[in-house]
Structure 1
Amino acid sequence: MPFAIYVLGLAVFAQGTSEFMLSGLVPDIAADLGVTIPAAGALTSAFAAGMIVGAPAVAMLSLRWPRRRALLTFLIVFLLAHVVGAGTGSFEILLATRVIAALANAGFLAVGLAAATAMVSPHAKGRATSVLLSGVTLACVAGVPLGALVSEMWGWRSAFWGVAGISAPAVIAILVAVPSTPADPDAPSVRHELRALRTPKLFVLGALVNGATFCTFTYLAPVITDVTGLGSGWVPVALAVFGIGSFAGVNLGGRLADRGTPRLLPIALLAGWVLLALTAGNAVAALLLVFVQGTLSFAVGSMLIARVLYAAPDAPTLAGGFATAALNVGAAAGPLLGGLALGAGFRAPLWVSAALVLGYLVLAREPRRPPNAAADVHAERGHQQ
């Protein structure tokens, strides 16, 4: 893999840390800025909304830009949004910076996926995608806990400064490592790329898989404490186990996508959610399956992104943009569906995750043609001639 792709992964690590770190900062932000906790929680919703709307919209805006310029523009805007957010005493300004950061993050991911896959051979798109998306999983494993630790020691603003600090060397590294290419006057138009996007089903599949992932991930803490019966000290362990599995899964999914589309992987994902729902009361089984489901969830998710890029070679930027939006739709809808099901108990989100993956399998089924269908079509055409 070219070094530049790892540089892009570093920037994605900073962005992933920013996206997920607010879950541990909301009480401190609310107290410091004089707002309610639900109001502070809207910062997370604002970021998700910015990602969903921004991924395709900003990708369209930057379609004719040179890719290095687009990457630098988005990353610098992302960095400055965190500098402003860290220094403001206004909740309204902080809310605005979250939307701006999300738009920049969405644009960076869309262009970054197109740039990464353009740097490798046509048959290595999956591996290039997995390196880039590893930044997100590493953010779950290391970035978010580190952000929580830093904010505990020096306040919530230090976490924002930390994200800006990680982004700064990524800006320099992109300047050095990512090839500079001039704007292409013959670059495809938005209309051309939209016509080349013939993968709407893949976007829905991505939303379903990510919805299942975040449905359970959001409520993993009460599953571990109330269903499995472990102490609260085991919650960070379970989250880390899930994160390690997700890192392994991203890399596995990318490699598998370069070889084809393994049909057993989503079936194994469904079986894993059912098993976890049935055996969550056993500590050993629960922790083992948390790792397995982290691996399978992100393997299927990264495989789907690679499939989108393979299926739309003439629309790499918008393919990445719409794939990013679809995954964020799932990340927003999954916790909502899981929350609605909590009245039935803390195992309920696990069953919702299983139902979402079942929906994936039903939608992913290809209609079977009768064995003689192709011969009948050929004979009919010959008769007409």
Structure 2
Amino acid sequence: MPVSLATATAPPRTRLPLAVYALALGTFCLGTSEFMLAGLLPQLSDGLGVSISTAGLLITAFAIGMTVGAPLMTLATLRLPRRATLLSAAAVFALIHLIPLAFDGYAMLLVGRVVAAAACATYWAVGAVIAVRLAGQELTARALAAVVGGLTLANVLGVPAGTWIGERLGWQASFVAVAIATVIVIGILRVLVPHQPHDDARVPMRVLVRRELVAFRDRRLWLALLTTALFQAAVFCCFSYLAPLLTDVSGISDERVPLVLLLFGVGSFVGITLGGRYADRDQLVNVFVSLVAMIVALVILLALAGTTMGACAATFLFGASAFSIAAALNGRVFGFAGDAPTLAASVNVSAFNVGNAVGPWLGGLVIDAGLGLRAPIWTAIALGGAALVVASFSWRLERGPRTERATRVPAECASA
């Protein structure tokens, strides 16, 4: 009896398409732009004639653009062609990075960071959907990990390179370098990323939105989002002012700051690798372990910031703990969202960037209050502690006595 083509099954995919790695190159450019400003704050402060804390608001502006742009652009592009939207977002992102060539004022640069962030949010939202579609269901997690891995590569290579270029050629050159790299990636994306069919193109928008909003009835999702925001605020409260801490407190020269930031990037690679493996076993435990590890790393940095070797070791540990939680935080949101995770995932991006905005702002406040460059570390420790408290509520909700009793009774009945 002949086998029907309808019932025949294709062999499972074992390798990711090259297009997924091309998407990761895009997130590498996005991440380099987002994170390199922390290493350029002294140059931006001097070049723009503003204080360190005011220059730090450029990081906050980018985070605000991401926070607002992620859910709005996700909703706006639900029915649009994915490939065209992706390429357009990348093109706008590249163009905005040429602003320093035409304008030298702080205000225009601040506005440009907000617009670049909105384009970045669009790329993230659409790029994740394309990666999952290209990889197939059996490689969904690996595809998303590869795309997020572009951020790790940005911390290892992009941020130190951007800081190095800014040290020698001026901070404007770092922005132009990001623009050139993004244009090259756009060319690669045009070649490797195929046109994407869009199943929801004819579905009424109100139906699509209603389907996505169902996930937000779950209290666990809100606790997960709050944990994400507090954790990320702790990370960026310290990381945003790491460069001036290294130069003014640790006594590290401007030329060697990129090397120390490279240690943060290497730590982030170690953290996301180990954290991703453990998150497959128990995501909530991974969240607790990562939070405690980050607080410990910050305490070490606080105690040893006055020594070069101590600051370097603490920076590595800080990078590892900052990224070890990423897989668990994203995985929990996708799990709670069920079959319609697009909006929930984009709101999680917003939660990350709420932290990215609040962290530098709080760090700048304590510096302006005259508490010194160590003050953001104290603030980051407090934010990490708050995230730990919220995570404990999640533990009680998901694994408290009632939950354990509810899961134990059916098991006892089944074994009777």
* Coarse TM-score class (shorter-chain normalised): 0.7 to 0.9
Partner of 1:3: 18
Residue 276 of structure 2 contacts residue 327 of structure 2 at CA under 8 Å; is this kept in 1?
yes
Q: Distance in 1 between matches of 2:169 and 2:318?
A: 34
Residue 78 of structure 1 contacts residue 101 of structure 1 at CA under 8 Å; is this kept in 2?
yes
TM-score between both structures, scaled by the size of structure 2: 0.77
Partner of 2:390: 363
Partner of 2:3: none
Residue 209 of structure 1 contacts residue 357 of structure 1 at CA under 8 Å; is this kept in 2?
yes
Secondary structure of 1:37's counterpart equals coil
For 1:20, the aligned partner's letter is: F
Q: Distance in 1 between matches of 2:170 and 2:306?
A: 36
For 1:81, the aligned partner's letter is: I
Partner of 1:382: none
Q: 2:265 pairs with 240, 243, 250, which one?
A: 243
Secondary structure of 2:328's counterpart equals helix
Q: Distance in 2 between matches of 1:47 and 1:163?
A: 15
Partner of 1:304: 329
Deviation, structure 1 residue 320:
2.9
Residue 257 of structure 1 contacts residue 307 of structure 1 at CA under 8 Å; is this kept in 2?
no
Secondary structure of 1:64's counterpart equals coil
Partner of 1:350: 377
Residue 39 of structure 2 contacts residue 258 of structure 2 at CA under 8 Å; is this kept in 1?
no
TM-score between both structures, scaled by the size of structure 1: 0.83
Name the Cα RMSD after superposition: 3.3
Percent identity reads 40
Q: Distance in 2 between matches of 1:101 and 1:340?
A: 25
Partner of 2:7: none
Deviation, structure 1 residue 329:
1.1
Higher mean Cα deviation, 73-82 or 282-291? 282-291
Q: 1:287 pairs with 312, 317, 326, which one?
A: 312
Higher mean Cα deviation, 213-222 or 36-45? 36-45
Q: Distance in 2 between matches of 1:371 and 1:17?
A: 43
Q: 1:16 pairs with 6, 24, 31, which one?
A: 31
Deviation, structure 1 residue 300:
0.8
Deviation, structure 1 residue 17:
2.2
1:268 and 2:293 matched: yes
Q: Distance in 1 between matches of 2:337 and 2:153?
A: 28
Q: Aligned in 2, Cα 1:23/1:375: closer, same or farther, shift over 3 Å?
A: closer
Matches for 1:95-174 after TM superposition, within 5 Å: 95-120=110-135, 122=137, 125-151=140-166, 154-174=169-189
Residue 101 of structure 2 contacts residue 172 of structure 2 at CA under 8 Å; is this kept in 1?
yes
Q: Aligned in 2, Cα 1:125/1:237: closer, same or farther, shift over 3 Å?
A: same
Higher mean Cα deviation, 311-320 or 230-239? 230-239
Q: Distance in 2 between matches of 1:168 and 1:124?
A: 28
Q: Distance in 2 between matches of 1:226 and 1:303?
A: 35
Q: Aligned in 2, Cα 1:116/1:252: closer, same or farther, shift over 3 Å?
A: farther
1:195 and 2:214 matched: yes
Q: Distance in 1 between matches of 2:227 and 2:124?
A: 19
Residue 269 of structure 1 contacts residue 296 of structure 1 at CA under 8 Å; is this kept in 2?
yes
Q: Aligned in 2, Cα 1:169/1:258: closer, same or farther, shift over 3 Å?
A: farther
Deviation, structure 1 residue 204:
1.2
Q: Distance in 2 between matches of 1:107 and 1:279?
A: 40
Residue 59 of structure 2 contacts residue 357 of structure 2 at CA under 8 Å; is this kept in 1?
no
Q: Distance in 2 between matches of 1:65 and 1:243?
A: 35
Q: Aligned in 2, Cα 1:361/1:3: closer, same or farther, shift over 3 Å?
A: same
For 1:335, the aligned partner's letter is: P
Higher mean Cα deviation, 217-226 or 314-323? 217-226
Q: Distance in 2 between matches of 1:29 and 1:351?
A: 25
Partner of 2:5: none
Deviation, structure 1 residue 59:
1.1
Q: How big is each residue's C-alpha offset from its partner over 1:162-183, in whole Å with a ceiling of 9 and x where there is no partner?
A: 2222112322322332342223
Q: Distance in 2 between matches of 1:204 and 1:125?
A: 25
1:314 and 2:329 matched: no
Residue 130 of structure 1 contacts residue 250 of structure 1 at CA under 8 Å; is this kept in 2?
no
Residue 81 of structure 1 contacts residue 100 of structure 1 at CA under 8 Å; is this kept in 2?
yes
For 1:190, the aligned partner's letter is: V
Number of residue pairs the alignment of both structures matches = 375
